[in-house]
Structure formats: structure tokens, C-alpha cells
Structure 1
């Protein structure tokens, strides 16, 4: 085959690829516009844009933003529950779907004490009031999310190396089947960095990290005294390095869920 003929074939292939890419781009744009048109007023009712990251599922995002999978699918005109990394989703404003109470801040109140009092989470309160800081002031009024249904009370835990679904469930005193169901898992596998919803009421306290008690537990101190909580194997050294640090501690069944 002559050099000129090879060049002609290569140029023809390039033109085909360019034409195909233009068709794909046009179809994508049309799909986006159609989705927004189909969503109509629903898009206007969405106050948050979220970019999908690794290990996200519609179920975990619904839990995180306190909406339903169906509401997410409707707002984004999704025909299935599959989402991919980098995808932008419209998240319905939870305040449109959730009843609110109003509370006037008293001296000594903190977001953590109010979350405990109203059986909600700090994140729920901050989102309900469009807050970007943990600071609150005496006399201010806060919108407080109404008490959730019992099966919606819980906290999020981030999976670490060595974790298994059964081990996490056992640590926090829930059934593995319930943990799987609450997180919409199709398999018993969990991934490092995955956020899992731990159902059930958790305890919240302001505490100081004393240090590692052993490979599986860490000692803390709050206003009521010293106490020891379980942690995932291999993480106690991280707490030892933070000895003396004051944290907000969230725990359940004698085990740490998270610290802030």
C-alpha cells in the first residue's frame, strides 16, 4: 500500500471520529436540556448540586441528605438507580420535605447538645439553617428538624482497612442484615472510605483523648470522668498521636463512630 493511500485512509478515519464525537456531544446536550425540561419546576425546588464520588450510591446519598431515592431519581430524571463518579446530581431541599420546629438558643447550648436533645444530627441542624460554622449565639433562633422516624435515627461511619460488614455490625450492636438493608447493599462487601449509615441512637459528648488503651480501644475523658471505647483494629495508634486533643465524640454500643 502506497504512503499516499495510507495517509488518505488515516485522514478519513479522523473525519469519522470527529463526526461521531460531534454527534455524541449533541446528544448529551440534548439529553441534559430534555432532562431539565422534563424536571420542570422540580429543578427549581433543588437547592443543592452534588458531584458523585467514589462509593456513592443513590441510597447513601438519600440517607445523607434525608430525602428518598425516588425523590433523587425524580429530580434528576433517572430511569435506574445507577450513578457514576463525576456525575452531577440535583438534591431536593430537605426543608421542603421535613417539618421544622423553632428553638431560641440558651446560654450553654451547643449544636451537639441540641442535636442530642432533638434526636437529630449536627449536620441536620446546620443544613436546616444554612450554617457554615459550628458557632451559635444566645438569643438566636434555630430551625430544628422534627424528630425523625426511629429507623432514620443514626450516624455515618467511614470504613477503614480491615473492616467487614459483620465486624462493623457487631461493633455497633446491629444485625448485619439490618446494616446491609439500611445502606442498600447488594453484597456483603464494604469498601475502604465508604460511608455507612449506622442505624439507632448514638451518644454525643465533648471529650479529651487520653490515649490508646490497647490495639482495640482508646481512653477518653469528659466532664463525668474517664472511660474506654472500642475502635477498629489498627486505629488506636492514630488516637495515641492525638493525645490531649479535645474532640466531639460520637459513639454507640461502647464503640467510636466518629470524632470531630
Structure 2
């Protein structure tokens, strides 16, 4: 049986290294930094950043009010308090308050995504801009943040909500919500509907061309239904082509041809399996970190001549299982391994 060295990396602490490298596990990573100037005092700095002296002292582990010129201070973000409600998941809370999952995780030092409790209090970064505002990422400070613009579209003959969603690369449920519709809603020729255009800037570090994208706000729009991509297994470096054909919580995909299915089967030691492997997806000019299992399942399939009955799962950062809406820990670990590959 083919060895999977990346599993040893996880067990030996490589996972922790990957988390620190990515910045998602470092509490306070999104705080502001301020260099003390001549004449500064803590109360002046607190007033400038609309925080308190006690919060600055706590963030910097200060035991007195004494500061020195040139000293670097961490300025804590303003936060609001939020109590978890029934049905809440982190991506929904982040979307509601116009922030990111990473910021909420860092601010609250969350380690177990599947154990959030109803009534649990979270600190949420306070936004200075309404979450309903739509602002393109044009400055360097916001260049890595996805943004969305809304357009009006006129329904054409033969179109449905599903085909329009596919045309614009957005989930069907997102289209329905934007237009206050249900799955049984009927569209008429000439009807005006709202569509969302998601812009996801490239996110790479100086040492890697691999992007580690959040499924809910980034990856599902970079890799929408209907997209063909080259998939590469991190351990063996073998590549084949797949197409995302469906899926909401993660990307349900199918091998493009019989030859692609055969390569995938070979990578999984000659048999399709639920075992997960770190993989990279080449989507246009972008390389995305992901995790995949190869087991064909479900009666839903769109490619009929590929010797593969059904579809298989591809997961990204924070994507979840279809059956219970929870994170799959094995997939999330493998994604982190893929994200730390320096190519």
C-alpha cells in the first residue's frame, strides 16, 4: 500500500505549523499596530483608537501606564458581543456582520468548530461600514478581501433560476434568496431579477503560489458548478481532470474522462476510497488548496461515459458535510497540508 507521508506531518505537529503559517490560529492577528511617538500617553492613544487604556494594557501585557518612544503597541479591535442562536454556524455569523471566519476564530480562540453552543457569547469585530454596503477592494489594505456587486438581469426564453445561477456562477439558493423566491417560483420572459457578481482577489504569500480559500466566501465562487480543473495529488504529483457538477456544502465533482477516473483510482492505491488526500486544483491561473476522497456515491451524475458512477467530494477551508452540516476534521487537516506546499 502506498504510504501517505502527509499523515505523519499532521501527527508530528506539522498541522500546528501550517496554522501558524497561514495566520488563522494566531489570536489578535487582525489587531492594529501603533508605534509610540514623542508626547504619547496611553489615554491619548486609547482616545485616538476609540478603545480603553485597560484594553490596550491587556493586549500588550502592560503592568503600568509607562510607555516609551518607538515601542510597538497592539491596538485591540473594537468588538461587539453576539450570542449564538439555534442554527448558527461561523460563516453565517461572519457574513451577517461583514467580517471573516478567521477574525472570529482568532478573537475568540476557537479550537473546536463543531462544539459551538446556543447562548455562547462571541466577540465580533465591529465594522465601521454597514454590511449592506458594497465596496470594491481597491486599496492595498483591502486587496485580499472578496467583494460583491449586484446587477439586474432580464430573464430570457427557456431560462430558470437554476440556469441563471449557473450562468453567473452563484449557488441556486443564493439566487433564490436575492430575489425572495422559492424553488417552485416561476420566471417569466422579460422579468427583472437580481444576480450577484462575486470578486475574489488572488491570495498568495511571498513563499507560495497556493491559495487557501474559505469555501463560503471565496472558493465556491472561484470554482463554481460547471468548472473543469486539473487536480494534482500532493504526495504523488499525479494529475487528472475533474468537473464540479453539483454541491452546496462542498464541491461534488466527477472525473472528466475514463482516463481521468483511472488515474484517480491509481492515486488511491488502485481502489476508490473515503480516505482523504491533500490535493491542489488548477483553476485558470490560480492554484487552490483542497482535500478529496475518491469514493463514487449518490445517483446524481452528469458525465455518463467516464467509468465513474456518481460523484466524489472535494473540500475547502470551512466546507462542511452534506449530511449534518459539520466540518470534516480529516478533510480540514488535509487542506492545511495542501496549503503549506511551496510550489
Under a length normalisation based on structure 2, what TM-score does the superposition of the two structures give?
0.30
Under a length normalisation based on structure 1, what TM-score does the superposition of the two structures give?
0.37
Which structure's residues are more often helix, by fraction? 1
Which structure's residues are more often strand, by fraction? 1
